[in-house]
Structure 1
Amino acid sequence: KAEDASKEKNRAASVAMNAEIRRTKARLLEEIPKLQRLAQKK
């Protein structure tokens, strides 16, 4: 039972980490065009 509980926790943690990674990736993808525009100005 303890092992099952830790597996559940691990799954929850990995789901949370994946969500965090997806959010960060989305934010970076939004930033790229802005950065490219800034780079072209220089």
Structure 2
Amino acid sequence: MTDPDPIKAASELNRGVELCVRQLPAQYQWTYKRFKKRPEGESKIY
């Protein structure tokens, strides 16, 4: 991530993660529940 623009840097990071997942999808932590808390009244994602 060499770009000083945080949007571009985050996009570059996400592309890197995507490449890794595509190469070895079995190694990705698919069970990680990132969005545990939901706004009041919103249905659960998981």
TM-score (norm 1): 0.49
Q: Which has the higher contact order (CA 8 A, sep 6+)?
A: 2
TM-score (norm 2): 0.45
